[in-house]
Structure 1
Amino acid sequence: MPHFVIDCSKNILAHQSPQVIIQKVYDTADASGLFAPGEIKVRINAFEHYIVGGTQKDFIHVFGNIMEGRTVDQKKKLSDSIIRELKAMFPEVPIVSINIRDFEKATYSNRDLV
């Protein structure tokens, strides 16, 4: 944990390979120092069918899901650093965004915890 899920328009993958995009988000999250080595998970979903603001403009949105306990400032810095890297990688993409959500420790579970 954490999980970063990248949703994007399919056209994004014509500009950069999925692995390069995934690695950039991984490296940026890792560089934040907020997570233990090997914990970060990143995946990508490319959409052919979508509407964004009434159009089919290209987009990238990252859903960051992290364990509670980080400050708002830490989460803001993480968000900003990922967006900076994606904007540099995709300067022509008009919609690049992220949100960070906290997992509650009390309700989180996985196969090793059960």
Structure 2
Amino acid sequence: MPHFIVEYSRSLETDAKHADLMAAAHEVAVASGQFGEADIKVRLYPVDHALVAGNAAATLHITIYLLSGRDQPTKKALTSALVKRFEGLVPSAKSISANAIDMDRETYSKISR
């Protein structure tokens, strides 16, 4: 835990490679001090079509799925750090955003190998 889901306009691949995008999310997660490095998961999803204010534009959004229990300032610090890190990585993005979503600790299940 956590899961970082990075949705990005495919056109941003000219700014950063897949490995760079994943490394940026991972680095921010580690630097936050909130997670063990072995627990951080990052997934990328390219988006072929996106609109910003009704116009075609390159966008990037990170959704962080966290086990419930962290306070709002901690989650805000994490999303702000992500937006700042990706701003420098993908300068051609018209919109960069991040959101943290709580997952219920009581119902979350996983297998670790």
Aligned equivalent of 1:97: 97
Describe the SS at the equivalent of 1:8: strand
> Between the two proteins, what is the percent identity of the paired residues?
27
Whole-Å separation in 2 of the counterparts to 1:83 and 1:100: 12
| Paired residue type of 1:48 | D
Deviations along 1:54-99, one digit per CA (max 9) or x if unpaired, are 2210000001001111111100100111111001112231100010
Q: Which residue of 1 aligns with 2:63?
A: 63
Match of 2:87 in 1: 87
Aligned residue for 2:57, secondary structure, equals: coil
Taking the TM superposition and a 5 Å limit, the aligned residue runs for 1:1-114 are: 1-111=1-111
Gaps of 5+ in 1: none
- Whole-Å Cα distance in 2 between the matches of residues 92 and 19 of structure 1? 18
When the two chains are superposed, the root-mean-square deviation of aligned CA atoms in Å is 1.3
In structure 2, give the amino acid aligned to 1:8: Y
Normalising by structure 1, report the TM-score.
0.91
Mapped partners of 2:94, 2:52: distance in 1: 11
| Secondary structure of the structure 1 residue equivalent to 2:34 | coil
> How does the TM-score come out when normalised to structure 2?
0.92
CA distance in 1, matches of 2:23, 2:69: 25
How far the C-alpha of 1:14 sits from its partner, in A, is: 1.8
Deviation at 1:52, TM superposition (A): 3.6
User: Aligned partners of 2:36 and 2:46: how far apart in 1?
Assistant: 28
Q: Which amino acid is 1:84 matched to?
A: K
**Whole-Å Cα distance in 2 between the matches of residues 73 and 96 of structure 1?**
20
Equivalent residue letter for 1:14: T
